[in-house]
Structure 1
């Protein structure tokens, strides 16, 4: 089973503590919702789990391997954090094909299927620079989930999406969860967050708020 073990995690940036003494055990087959105000440390925690920032203290262990010691990045992770960088002159399909070529885990048919699931036409000839905000968001989600990674991290996945897009995100998260991925999401719409998550983890000023890990269903 996929697991993420976070022990006494601390992170300082320019002398300021952005994460303080975080202890979490996250397991596959669940969606964990991070709840907290802007600047509470949600995105920092996501970045730390992805290996994008290194902890000042404590450890993050993914499937038995410690980040920064045995591995630099999780071996299998799909990420949507802040603005994904896509090539403006390429179509959605071409962009995802370029990304997929790095790991060689998925073939074109699977990429097409992922695009359709999130509501994008794989044969759309428009380039990324002509995409609407909603289309860009959908492509970012497709990039994060197309390889069926062990860990799926989505920061504000329903941002800029209409109701049909939000429904597609729900379906995709359900699929990822059923395959045993550890899913971590953050969403400023607390109703939607409760709906999407199996467990809510509340963060305030870089700390986990006690008793916040409650089941939503």
Structure 2
């Protein structure tokens, strides 16, 4: 699907091949700039990696793209629609941007079912298959409070994948995962890219981004550049 879409892009206007466009975005918190005139285009159906040290602004950029924060200047478009207009959120977005507030007394399937009721009521078979996809057992009756950090990370990814989103925003998706879990994440991202999903991954791990990203950016002091 991606190969067809990208081949079509070769003969199309460049803007038709952009999934996310960030143009001159600035954001300050308590007088401290966290995003400084950030401009970048993230291609449709590709995995874009963003790396940088802690406090460089990469997580804040994901939050802005997801519509979780407002920006002071500039604009963000997701699939041609401007984010934040009339308080609107971009449609068809799945994200794991910070530790998910997990309800400790629920099982993994119960939690996805609850989130599903808020987002679109996906069928239980879809929820079960999503859990299996990230390496969790949908029949596991243990409560989330007994989950390891790695299991919680997998569950966080599962909620991002619910509903087959067109855009995935992932912040450090391989944190707390062993080698098998990291390979699962890489395989899922490759599959999602092949499905045509636009993916933006933030990671401090350059080696991981080298494995999964089609293009990489570096952020430093609230600014971004392609590498």
TM-score scaled by structure 2?
0.89
* Alignment match, 2:215: 199
- Looking at secondary structure, tell me which structure has more helix per residue: 2
Counting matched residue pairs gives: 211
Q: Does 1:143 align with 2:159?
A: yes
Residue 17 (structure 1) shift:
0.9
Q: Measured at CA, do residues 181 and 105 of structure 1 come closer, stay the same or move farther in structure 2, by a change above 3 Å? A: farther
Is 2:138 the partner of 1:125?
no
After TM superposition, list the pairs within 5 Å mapping 1:45-124 onto structure 2: 45-69=61-85, 72-104=88-120, 106-124=122-140
The runs of 4+ residues in structure 1 deviating greater than 4 Å are none
Question: What is aligned with 2:36?
Answer: 20
Report the Cα distance in structure 1 between the residues aligned to 2:29 and 2:185, rounded to whole angstroms.
33
Quote the Cα distance in structure 1 between the aligned partners of 2:47 and 2:179: 20
Structure 1: which 5+ residue stretches go unaligned?
none
**Partners in 2 of 1:184 and 1:164 — Cα distance?**
22
The answer on 1:32 being equivalent to 2:48 is: yes
Q: RMSD in angstroms over aligned alpha carbons?
A: 1.4
Q: Secondary structure at the match of 2:75?
A: strand
Gaps of 5+ in 2: 1-16
In structure 2, distance between residues paired with 1:4 and 1:102: 25
Cα displacement (A) at 1:179:
1.8
